[in-house]
Chain A
Amino acid sequence: MPLSRALARHQTPAILIVLLAIIACLSLVGQSDALQVTLTEMFIRVVVVVGLYVFIGNSGIISFGQIGFMCIGAYAAAWATGEPTFKQIMLQGLPVFLQEAQYPFLVAMAGAMVLPAAVALILGFAIMRLAGTAASIATFAFLIIVNSVYSNWDSVTAGVSSIIGIPTVVGPWTAYVFAAVAIVVAYLFQVSRIGLMLRASRDDEVAARASAVHVLRVRLAAFVLSAALCGLGGGLYAQFLGILTVDPFYLSLSFITLAMLVVGGMFSLTGAVVGVVVVTAVVEILRALERGVGLGDTAFSLPSGSQEIGLGVVMALILIFRPSGLARGKEFRLFRAAPAAPAASAAEPALQLSESPTSAR
């Protein structure tokens, strides 16, 4: 296939990656540390939210547990790359191959994907059998379990104290590259056979089963891939911060990432990416206002705390005027797609939070 046709057909991921590249270039303009941090965090969140989208967007089932996978991935990366001297003293419960060696960055990232994926495979067997709401609650229970296990298992996680000395190799550009990879992976999944079957089960589970779709299997596949991407986000985060505790991987991060997905529009990849960018931008603007801006000779600043309130108001407004998110279930397209390209979801399906229908009429 000629390059131009391939690009027209797969334009959505290409556009998203270019868009993020433009944003990444901001890191060249302003050299302030704060900007570098903001950009890096934003790209890591793209990885995580795209990971959420792979499962939630394609299956229509809300999961509150994906940040648990991010936590598992972050610790896996810390175990792989931490200082051996530190690990031998503080993390004596780790297997010897981890205690005594320090693995390269990419190996750590692989571990940060494989471990959560394995956990998701086992967990998914149980959870994917449950219908809508029950499955969502079970994922929430999983988040709680991960949090308490990792806060209390002192010999491998250092418990409430932190793991220090993780090499900080992740900056804006590294994070950007991984965000681009996550977008490509999510896109390939979405247009794959399994993605097609999964989206069918989101539209109508009963009809999907009558179309020979093994709904449990395709949901499980998405759950595992989603866990791998969220875990990768965790691994990147660990190697960005250099110091790791369990605290960040809990309720507030779960809610902010879900909010990003919902604001952007949870039924398209475009929505997932746009949600991260827009929410990050809103937060940064409010933060700047909180610090104060000079208008002529009067300094003007918002009272502290208005950042949270402002974010809440902005999100509520977006959802009032665009209930299905900014992207409305559509994908970015600049050119007419080749006829063979899978049609983007044309409208927003109802979110499957209710019990899925079991009677077939």
Chain B
Amino acid sequence: MIQPYVEPQARTIDRSRTNAATLEVEGLSVLFQGLAAISDVSLTVNRHEVFGLIGPNGAGKTTLVNCLTGFQRPTSGRILLGGDDTSGWPAARFRERGVARTFQAGRLFKDMSVSENVEVTGTGLGLGLRSAREHARALLDWVGLSDKAQLPAGALAYTDQRRLGIARSLVLSPAFILLDEPAAGMSDAECEDLNELVAAIPQLFTCGVLLIEHNMRVVMGISHRIHVLDGGKTIAEGTPEEIQRHEAVLAAYLGMDA
């Protein structure tokens, strides 16, 4: 069962900086040595929704998330956060303005404790140490890791590492959280638990979720809308029902899954 989340107070934090209602991508293209990883993609993620982003391996999903968090400069096109042009923002600024992410490869601070992994984001966002620790405790409670708070993050089991990655990104309720294959490599039962957690995020954190996920059952189950990329191009966008019946999507996936 998903616990309710009660965020500790943080009076020094200016919430007006992270209240963007939309995260928009306009005509985005990314070239790597002349090869297009993303070509002319446009989409809008709204707060309060789970937005699925799917596509075969190498479709450009991670590259898109990198652009949305300041880790990859677009070759052309714009990214707007609540209408503000984000070009030139460093990665830390994206997080300060409420765009958080997890990494496909985990990227925990392996030599630091589980609690410290979460505290880093709190201090990065301007909390004092004591307050950052309170926020870490609350989030670790929520993801079910409070009994492991003092362990080194590198010692966690794989599924727990994924949960920690999510906890770390949810500090101070960002406006958007971009999850890059959070359930990759998990068993069906572990997947279920994680889905429950992810599905609860928009409500509890008033936060939009962009979810990259290969497991079709999962994405179809919790996304409100789904965007499909293939070879860096948009091939479809719509509700799960529409996507399941979409011919181009079926064609793209038939070669892969069937």
A binding-site residues for B, Cβ under 8 Å = 191-193, 196-197, 199-200, 203-204, 206-215, 329, 339-340, 342-343, 345-349, 359-361
Contact = CB atoms under 8 A, between A and B. Distances in A.
- Name the residue among A203, A207, A209 with the largest chain B CB count within 10 angstroms: A207
Given A206-B103, A343-B116, A211 B111 contact: no
Given A197-B120, A339-B150, A346-B154, A210 B103 contact: yes
Given A196-B119, A197-B124, A342-B116, A361 B109 contact: no
Given A339-B150, A346-B152, A361 B104 contact: yes
Contact of B66 (A204, A346, A347, A360): A360
Contact of A329 (B111, B132, B155): B111
Contact of A200 (B72, B120, B128): B120
B90 interface: yes
B95 A347 contact: no
Q: Is the interface of A mostly helix, strand, loop or mixed?
A: loop
A199 B112 contact: yes
A347 B154 contact: yes
Interface residues of B, number: 42
Contacts of A208: 109, 120, 124
A209 B92 contact: yes
Interface of B: 62, 66, 69-72, 90-92, 95-96, 100-101, 103-105, 107-113, 115-117, 119-121, 123-125, 128-129, 132-133, 150, 152, 154-155, 168-169
Contacts of A203: 109-112
Nearest to B102: A210
Given A210-B101, A212-B124, A347 B116 contact: no
B83 to A, nearest CB: 21
A196 B116 contact: yes
Given A214-B124, A346-B152, A347-B110, 16 more contacts: A199-B109, A200-B112, A200-B116, A200-B117, A203-B112, A204-B107, A204-B109, A207-B109, A208-B124, A212-B121, A214-B90, A329-B111, A345-B111, A359-B66, A360-B62, A360-B103
Nearest to B70: A209
Contacts of A209: 70-71, 90-92, 95
A204 B103 CA distance: 12
B109 A200 contact: yes
Contact of A192 (B105, B129, B154): B129
A197 B120 CA distance: 6
Contact of B107 (A191, A206, A215, A345): A206
A210 to B, nearest CB: 6
B112 A345 contact: yes
Contacts of B101: 210
A163 to B, nearest CB: 44
Nearest to A341: B150
Contacts of B70: 209
Contacts of B150: 339, 343
A197 B128 CA distance: 12
B72 to A, nearest CB: 7
A345 B115 CA distance: 13
B175 to A, nearest CB: 13
Contacts of A196: 116, 119-120, 123, 129
B246 to A, nearest CB: 28
A215 B91 CA distance: 10
A318 B217 CA distance: 55
A331 to B, nearest CB: 13
A49 B69 CA distance: 38
A330 to B, nearest CB: 11
Given A196-B123, A346-B154, A212 B109 contact: no
Contacts of B69: 210, 360
A211 B168 contact: yes
Given A192-B129, A208-B120, A361-B62, A347 B92 contact: no
